């Protein structure tokens, strides 16, 4: 399974365009910009499609015509800019399945002609399981909300590799841990939005809750020493680059820039 990190940033990205903190200043000076979180799996499965995800694929030199499925975690605009459906509709008659919780699907429908049949929508809720273009996707409960339900995804690729895509979320719901017990993940993409700052309302992770979330997965065997844990949805409250890498390494996790390809 090849996982291309199209974007690794929180909703405002790094740098936040309006901020002069050390993390933002460093990112601005180095040109290492984190755009909205999104991952492209094997060129076929796109998870989250915020306003910058399609353009990020262009920066990687990739046409998205191989994508047959788009999974949306929740309705927040950094994870879903439905204009991609209109842009795709101008050039493609190839079927596409868009999957997400009800509030996300509701945001999509206005962006397609009423009589079109190229794009199909599948509304999911936590606990659902479905086959998508050869990938087994399990829908998991996020500790987050966006006009209603927000979900995470466990993906099993045709090659048998397992990915946990876990953003946006605060500390796990017990139903999530129950659902993933018995699965060993090869790759965990886990949000770490706030660094040393306190996440508002407990719907995102900071270093402390990120560490606890990884420990929870380790305690049920979902994460072991061969699992790569990668922090994503990184916000500017995090420390500057070298310190961020060091702090996450202490937690057994990695962090990478946008457009990093992870070969699992």
Binding residues for Zn ion (CB under 5 A): 11, 16, 19, 21, 24, 76, 78, 168, 236
Q: Could you give the CA distance from residue 40 to residue 101 in angstroms, rounded to a whole number?
A: 19
What distance lies between CA 46 and its chain's CA centroid? 9
Query: 17 or 131, CB closer to Zn ion?
Result: 17
Q: Which residues contact 74 (CB under 8 A, 6 or more apart)?
A: 80, 100, 101, 103, 104, 142, 144, 145, 146, 149, 150, 151, 168
Give me the least distance between CB of 233 and Zn ion, in Å please. Answer: 6
Check residue 94 and report its DSSP letter: S
Query: 43 or 257, CB closer to Zn ion?
Result: 257
Give me the least distance between CB of 160 and Zn ion, in Å please. Answer: 29
Burial class, 174, CB count within 10 angstroms (exposed 0-12 / middle 13-18 / buried 19+): exposed
Helices H / strands E in the chain, number of each: 7, 14
Check residue 49 and report its DSSP letter: B
Q: Which residues contact 257 (CB under 8 A, 6 or more apart)?
A: 5, 8, 32, 34
Give me the least distance between CB of 204 and Zn ion, in Å please. Answer: 8
In 53-100, DSSP assigns E strands to 69-71, 96-100
In this structure, how many other beta carbons lie within 10 angstroms of the beta carbon of residue 224? 11
Q: Which two tokens stand for residue 43?
A: 């060129």
Query: 54 or 73, CB closer to Zn ion?
Result: 73
Query: 21 or 33, CB closer to Zn ion?
Result: 21
Query: 21 or 60, CB closer to Zn ion?
Result: 21
Give me the least distance between CB of 21 and Zn ion, in Å please. Answer: 3
Query: 23 or 227, CB closer to Zn ion?
Result: 23
Give me the least distance between CB of 145 and Zn ion, in Å please. Answer: 8
Give me the least distance between CB of 55 and Zn ion, in Å please. Answer: 17
**CA dihedral sign, ordered 9, 14, 17, 21:** positive
Give me the least distance between CB of 261 and Zn ion, in Å please. Answer: 22
Query: 16 or 227, CB closer to Zn ion?
Result: 16
């Amino acid at each position: 399974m090849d996982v291309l990190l199209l974007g690794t940033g929180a909703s405002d990205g790094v740098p936040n365009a309006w901020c002069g903190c050390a993390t933002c200043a460093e990112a601005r000076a180095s040109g290492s910009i984190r755009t909205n979180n999104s991952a492209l799996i094997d060129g076929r499965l796109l998870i989250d499609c915020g306003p910058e995800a399609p353009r990020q694929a262009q920066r990687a030199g990739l046409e998205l015509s191989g994508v047959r499925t788009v999974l949306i975690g929740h309705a927040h605009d950094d994870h879903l800019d439905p204009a991609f459906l209109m842009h795709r509709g101008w050039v493609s008659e190839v079927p596409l399945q868009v999957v997400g919780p009800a509030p996300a699907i509701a945001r999509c429908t206005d962006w397609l002609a009423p009589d079109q049949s190229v794009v199909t929508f599948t509304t999911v809720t936590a606990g659902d399981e479905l086959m998508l273009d050869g990938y087994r996707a399990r829908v998991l409960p996020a500790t987050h909300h966006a006009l209603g339900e927000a979900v995470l995804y466990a993906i099993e690729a045709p090659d048998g590799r397992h990915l946990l895509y876990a953003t946006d979320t605060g500390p796990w719901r017990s139903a999530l841990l129950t659902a993933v017990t018995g699965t060993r993940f090869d790759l965990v993409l886990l949000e770490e939005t706030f660094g040393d700052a306190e996440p508002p309302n407990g719907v995102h992770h900071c270093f402390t809750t990120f560490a606890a979330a990884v420990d929870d997965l380790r305690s049920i065997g979902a994460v072991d020493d061969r699992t790569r844990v990668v922090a994503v949805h990184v916000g500017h409250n995090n420390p500057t680059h070298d310190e961020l890498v060091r702090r996450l390494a202490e937690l057994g996790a990695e962090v990478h820039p946008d457009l990093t390809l992870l070969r699992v």
